[in-house]
Amino acid sequence: MIKLTPRNNQSKILIAITPIIAVLFTMIFGGILFWVLGKNPFEAIKLIFWDPLMSETFSDYARPQILVKASPLILIALGLSVGFKANIWNIGAEGQFIMGALISAGIGLALYPMENRLIFPLMVVCGTLGGTLWALIPAILKSRFNTNEILVSLMLVYIAEQALASASIGILRNPEGSGFPGSRNLNQYPSASNPELIAGSGVHWGVVFSILTVWFFHYLLKNHKFGFQIKLFGDAPRAASFAGLKSNYIILLCFSISGGLAGMAGMFELTGPAGAITIDFNVGYGFTAIIVAFLGRLNPIGILFAGLLMALTYVGGEISQFMLGIPAAAIQVFQGMLLFFLLSIDLIVKFQLSFIRNKHISRKE
Amino acid sequence: MDFASIDPTTVIYNLMIAATPILFAALGELVVEKSGVLNLGVEGMMIMGAICGFAISVETGSSYVGFIAAALGGAILSIIFAIMTQYFLANQVASGLALTLFGLGLAALLGHSYTGQVPPEVSKLSVPVLSSIPIFGKMFFNHDFFVYCSLALVFFIWFFLAKTRLGLIVQAVGENHDSAHAIGYNVTKIRFFSILFGGALAGLGGGYLSLIRVPQWTEGMTAGAGWIALAIVVFSTWQPWRLILGAYIFGGITILQLNLQAIGVNIDVALLSMTPYVVTIVALVLMSVNRSKKSIGAPGSLGKSFIKVL
Amino acid sequence: MKIIKFLSLISLFFVGVMSSVQATELKVGFIYVNPVGENTGWDYQHDQGRKAVENAYGNKVETSYVEAVPEGADAERVMTQMALSGHDMIFATSFGFMDPVMNVAAKFPNVKFEHATGYKRADNVATYSARFYEGRSVIGHIAGRMTKTNTIGYIASYPIPEVIRGINSAYLAAKAVNPNIKFKIVWVFTWFDPAKEADAASTLIDQGADMIMQHTDSTAAMTIAEERGVYAFGQASDMKKFGPRAQLTSIIDDWAPYYVERVGKALDGTWKSEDTWDGLAPGMAAISDFSNEIPETVRKEAQDLHDAIASGTVHSFTGPINKQDGSTWLAAGETADDGTLLGMNFYVEGIDGDIPQ
């Protein structure tokens, strides 16, 4: 029988080496999958993991694109991780992402075609607020009535999706868009556009913000008492209340942070890469970010790497599709495997495994 | 507007068929959540059930064998989740989401050669005598076997949870895994099998979709049904009987709005589609305000990993 | 960065297995918004066009595709990478790819882009679409002649001009042969949701429709029509497999001739940016074989109507036509101009209900 003992000090080597083992496992099983599908497994895996980063053809473009694809994931996951540490479960980031985008689009389009430098910053603020307000619904219900926040935040995703659909065929529909659903393209409205900061790279303000936020959270959680409070609240809520921490305050704060960052991510995605509100504007960033938060072990630096790895599989997956004719579904399965292995392997980071011969040993006393 | 052309009998008849896949899946998820596990992979397990059920019934020519395969397909996929969350202690929310991603992809790969095939027909089982009652006969007693089966399962699951020893153990494990463990129950094993049961029922729901409701296989055909099943479990406040109400309201709203549209009523579809979710949230809040009844509400250990520290 | 270092080590082993690059004259890429699927649907039809290009030019042309590409940022990235990997021509097959196409085209002036159903063009961006409404006239005629209940059920996706145009066209043709005709329209607000489309079909049949038309992508409605013993018209692809008895005919999106022609022009250097809106004449919108369930006379009429539209002697929208509110749209003998058709946002007189906003 296997006995688990939580590790007090997680080994740095294990933290670094376990994701590599997981990726290796994925390569083996994914390779088998590609082989079954009649594709060269070595070439497929090379196209997914190597080409976007290193090949002459793709890397110049793909490297910054990985950052662009990863930035909403990282931004949202960072916010979520604070709550997760404190045992507060916001799984509705997808909805907050949508609301952030919708509110900022509403503000931006209401001002169209006025040109003013303040419009974009105003939209950033409104998007962040939109996400925060949407996240505050489960937070207030949780703090006031102790309503389960997992479920309320999830329900609010569905509501936000309906609101998005309604807005894209209704009030936000582009009056010059030949009647197709979807709003005006904000990239063509200079004051509301989230410009490319380095020509040809696609890197926009969202990327800058997400990297700054990684740094900020890293600092905050390590050096500031806030980090300690969050951890205490999550690990030992009783002790936290003795220490004078109000649980309502922590709940509202965690939801505001995660909702705000999700809303901000939605806003940057809208004004930058996406350009316009459409019915399918949300492509699952809010849900994928939950996975990213856990892959990153709720640690800001870890989340940065996890987000980049996820983005790499998206970008590499597309390359492998048109270079090798691998179906999109196979890429999904491959990503699923990667997540399974990465999530499972954490066990040996968190716990010391030891084998006991007598399985009744624990009952003796 | 010609409201007379909406025939309540057929509306209710169609509504029952529309609700059956999500009722199956929700019943499974209810047991899983009662045992303290939140599996967000319902969509993935449903679509695995849809393709396994479809493929096997096309191959064997028997839809009943197909349904068994659907349940197995869902259960086998859920084993991945069970191993990850129960033995590797991976986070349930993240694992469930990954399971959906994996299931959707795998089903699409498996189903590649089955699009365009026709499954064997499932005959209606008219209940003798009862089906000849005017109106009610057609509404309730003229369905296929699996509609009755889903309703019977509601009863059995209620009975199992409320009246059997094993059912009470499952609930105890879900309510507080540490105390359940202290009493000597094997939390991990109970949860493992609850997850498998949930997977099997989600698979059945998927099978119903591909074999009876739509009857065909198409990639991505669940189109969010698994997520609705999750919502219904919450809506039901973890009471098996209320699942029927939840499934029929969620299914019913679609049917109703289609009927209203067909007679020319101008309705706001988005607004109407939101309402069940709003109602669910209100139900959750009311429930948590009214904490005096201790038996209702989310299982205490829902979503938390059980770590056995010796 | 450990992961990356490690990966770089592993990949050293893989460098040797890179496939040999064929010498082709033209590399053509396709991007699809949904998975291609196996038998039917919008994306499947575009992929049939891709295969036709491969067959037509053999080794001279190499094609590739990426499926399930979300519209927006992801589409832009996919097309850029295609361009970087040496594709000379890219077909973007969904309306929502429009702005991404324009952005990528600006960056790669030597790559030729073809965008389906869009309205923005550039020197290296051509657009194309099909006049599916011409096909809808034909099925409207058949439905009007064959219905016993005088009720046609119509499953519509989103309230966009393309869909509204189809409804109007089918209605006018049905009305012309059957003054008592009634259209029941339900909007499902999705292009693809088999369960919902099945529900919509059942609902319409329950409310008396004995002919089902659809402007959604799945084959669910056809299956239900077969099961319930009514007739239906397929959409995008031949759906006969799903309704061997139920399907009277299908409106088929046949992109193959256009794709072959355009790739040919790219090969011989005569390609230039154009806007193509073809209908029944070249067969971009085609009608599949008529079912034997259609009476001989009706089949003949339908074929005549088809031929007349194809030859240009008949236009689907020929006056006198009033709008739903009773105001005059087209005077007697007047035909609709493309501009109005492209932005159509009203029902014609006689259709009940409102277009959802």
DSSP string, C230-254: -EEEEEES--GGG-TTTEEEEEEE-
Find out whether the peptide bond into A113 is cis, omega within 30 degrees of 0: yes
Distance CA C258, CA C273 (A): 14
Interface of B with C (CB under 8 A): 5-7, 10-11, 14, 18, 21, 108, 112-116, 118, 209, 213-216, 218-225, 254-255, 258-259, 261-266, 268-270
Nearest to B285 among A145, A158, A288 (CB): A145
Q: State yes or no: pLDDT of B310 exceeds 60.
A: no
Name the packing angle between helices B8-34 and B145-163 (round to 10°).
40
pLDDT at residue number A159: 93
pLDDT, residue A286, reads 92
| Average pLDDT of chain B to the nearest whole number | 87
A–C interface: beta-carbon pairs under 8 A: 138
What pLDDT is attached to residue A357? 61
- Tell me how far apart the alpha carbons of residues A22 and A18 are, in angstroms, rounded to a whole number: 6
**CATH superfamily membership of C132-252+287-342:** Response regulator (3.40.50.2300)
Nearest to C357 among A170, A278, A319 (CB): A170
Percent of chain C residues topping a pLDDT of 90: 69
Residues of A in contact with C85 (CB under 8 A): 57-58, 319, 322-323
Angle at B124 between CA B120 and CA B126, to 5 degrees: 160
- CA dist A226 → A245, A260, B150 (Å): 11, 18, 50
Per-residue pLDDT, averaged over B221-250, amounts to 89
All domains of chain B in start order, with CATH: 3-288 (1.10.3470)
Residue A333 in this model has a pLDDT that exceeds 90:
yes
How does DSSP classify residue B122?
Answer: P
Give the number of other Cβ atoms within 10 Å of residue C20's Cβ.
5
- Among candidate residues B170, C3, C127, C82, the one with its CA nearest the CA of residue A307: C3
Give the distance from residue C35's alpha carbon to the nearest chain B alpha carbon, in angstroms.
8
Q: What is the pLDDT of residue A164?
A: 93
Q: What residues form DSSP beta bridges with C175?
A: none
- What would the mean pLDDT of C231-236 be, rounded to a whole number? 94
Distant-in-sequence, close-in-space partners of C347: CB < 8 Å, separation ≥ 6: C164, C167, C168, C171, C323, C324, C353, C355
Q: Is B215 exposed, middle or buried (0-12, 13-18, 19+ CB in 10 A)?
A: buried
Residue A122 has pLDDT above 50, yes or no: yes
Asked if residue C21 has pLDDT above 60, the reply is no
Chains that touch A (3 or more CB pairs under 8 A): B, C
* Through-space distance between the first and last CA atoms of chain B, rounded to whole angstroms: 70
**How long a stretch of residues is chain A?**
365
Per-residue confidence band for C1, with pLDDT thresholds at 50, 70 and 90: very low
What's the pLDDT band for A239 if we cut at 50, 70, 90? confident
List the beta bridge partners of residue A351: A6
As a whole number of angstroms, the longest Cα–Cα distance in chain C is 76
Residue C47 has pLDDT above 80, yes or no: yes
**What's the pLDDT score for residue A1?**
62
Mean pLDDT confidence for A44-50: 91
Closest chain B CA to residue A144? B289
**Average pLDDT value for residue range C164-176:** 95
Q: Given the structure tokens 């209710």, which residue do they identify?
A: B12
The pLDDT of residue B291: 62
Is the pLDDT at C274 greater than 60, yes or no? yes
| Alpha carbons A192 and A116: distance in angstroms, whole number | 9
Whether the CB-CB separation of C122 and C105 falls below 8 Å is answered with: yes
Q: To the nearest whole percent, how much of chain B has pLDDT over 90?
A: 46
B41 or B141, higher pLDDT: B41
A244-250 mean pLDDT: 83
> Which percentage of chain B shows pLDDT scores above 70?
96
Can you tell me whether residue A2 is helix, strand or coil? Answer: strand
pLDDT at A359 > cutoff 80: no
Q: Would you call B14 and C203 a contact, using CB atoms and an 8 Å cutoff?
A: yes
Q: Which chain A residues are within 8 Å of B309, Cβ to Cβ?
A: 4-6
Mark which residues 185-224 of C lie under 8 Å from A by CB. Answer: 189
pLDDT at C8: 46
pLDDT grade for C20, boundaries at 50, 70 and 90? very low
Q: Which residues of C touch B219 (CB under 8 A)?
A: 35, 37-38
Whole-number mean pLDDT of chain C? 89
Q: Percent of chain A scored above 90 by pLDDT?
A: 47
Q: Which two tokens stand for residue B96?
A: 């469930």
| pLDDT of the residue at B270 | 81
Q: What single DSSP character describes residue A236?
A: -
Q: How confident is the model at residue B47 (pLDDT cuts 50, 70, 90)?
A: very high
pLDDT tier, A171 (very low <50, low <70, confident <90, very high otherwise): confident
Task: Give the tokens for residue C276.
Answer: 């193509």
For residue B204, pLDDT beyond 80 = yes
Q: Say whether pLDDT at A75 is over 90.
A: yes
Question: Angle, to 10 degrees, between the axis of helix B165-175 and the axis of helix B8-34?
Answer: 70
Say yes or no: C68 contacts chain B, CB-CB below 8 A.
no
Sheet containing C125-130: give its strands across.
C61-66, C26-31, C89-92, C112-116, C125-130, C275-278
- Residue environment code for C306-322, b if the CB has 16+ CB neighbours within 10 A, otherwise e: beebbeeebebbeeebe
Average pLDDT over residues A81-89: 90
Confidence of residue C129 (pLDDT cuts 50, 70, 90): very high
CA B170 to CA B161: how far, in whole Å? 8
Note whether C29 and C91 are within 8 A (CB).
yes
Least confident residue range of A89-98, A196-205, A356-365: A356-365
State pLDDT tens for residues B211-231.
998 888 888 888 888 988 998
- Residue B1 binned pLDDT confidence (cut-offs 50, 70, 90): low
Residue B26 or C357, more confident = B26
Q: Is the dihedral of CA A293, A294, A300, A306 positive or negative?
A: negative
Average pLDDT over residues A134-147: 92
**With 90 as the cut, is the pLDDT of residue A176 above it?**
no
**Are the CB atoms for B270 and A151 separated by under 8 Å?**
no
At A122, which amino acid appears? L
pLDDT, average across residues A317-322: 91
Please report the pLDDT score of residue C179 as a whole number.
94
Q: Would the CB atoms of A16 and C2 count as touching at under 8 Å?
A: yes
The per-residue pLDDT for C14 is 40
Stretch B267-296: mean pLDDT, rounded?
Answer: 76
Q: Does C53 score more than 90 pLDDT?
A: yes
d(CA C122, CA C127): 9
Name the pairing type of β-strands A2-6 and A351-355: antiparallel
Q: Helices A12-36 and A300-324 sit at what angle, rounded to 10 degrees?
A: 20
CA C216 – CA C194 distance, rounded (Å):
9
3-class DSSP assignment, residue B293 = coil
Mutation target vs B (from A332, A335, A337, A342; most B CBs, 10 A cutoff): A332
**Cis bond upstream, residue B128 (ω within 30):** no
pLDDT, position B286:
83
**Span A127-136, average pLDDT:** 96
| Run of H or E residues at C286 | strand C285-287
Q: A198: how many CB neighbours lie within 10 A of its CB?
A: 10
Secondary structure element (H or E) that encloses residue C177, with its range: helix C161-177
Contact (CB, 8 A) for B202 and B75: no
Scanning every residue of chain B, which has its alpha carbon at the shortest distance from the alpha carbon of C221?
A: B214
- Position A346 scores a pLDDT of 84
C338 to chain A, any CB pair closer than 8 A? The answer is no
Give, rounded to a whole angstrom, the gap between the first and last alpha carbons of chain C: 51
The answer to whether the beta carbons of residues A192 and A112 sit under 8 Å apart is yes
* Mean pLDDT, residues A129-142 taken together: 95
Say which residues have a Cβ less than 8 Å from residue B141's Cβ, sequence separation at least 6. Answer: B126, B127, B130, B131, B133
CA of A78 vs chain B CAs: smallest distance (Å)? 15
Query: Which residue would you say has higher pLDDT here, A192 or A84?
Result: A84
Same CATH topology for C22-131+255-278 and C132-252+287-342: the answer is yes
Report the SS3 class of residue C182: strand
Q: Assess contact for B46 and B225: CB atoms under 8 A.
A: yes
- Only one residue has tokens 């309320």, namely A152
Q: Look at A7 and C318; give whichever has higher pLDDT.
A: C318
**Which percentage of chain A shows pLDDT scores above 70?**
97
| Nearest-angstrom CA–CA distance, A155 and A289 | 17
Going from N- to C-terminal start, the domains of chain C cover 22-131+255-278, 132-252+287-342
Helix (H) or strand (E) holding C116: strand C112-116
Inform me whether the pLDDT recorded for A361 exceeds 60: no
Type of residue at C288: S
**pLDDT of B296 higher than 70:** no
* pLDDT of res. C6: 44
Least confident span in A18-22, A224-228, C231-235: A224-228
User: Domain C22-131+255-278 falls in which CATH fold?
Assistant: Rossmann fold (3.40.50)
User: A116 vs chain B: nearest CA distance in angstroms?
Assistant: 34
Of the ranges A351-360, B233-242, C196-205, the best mean pLDDT one = C196-205
Poorest-pLDDT segment among A11-25, A298-312, B43-57, B122-136: B122-136
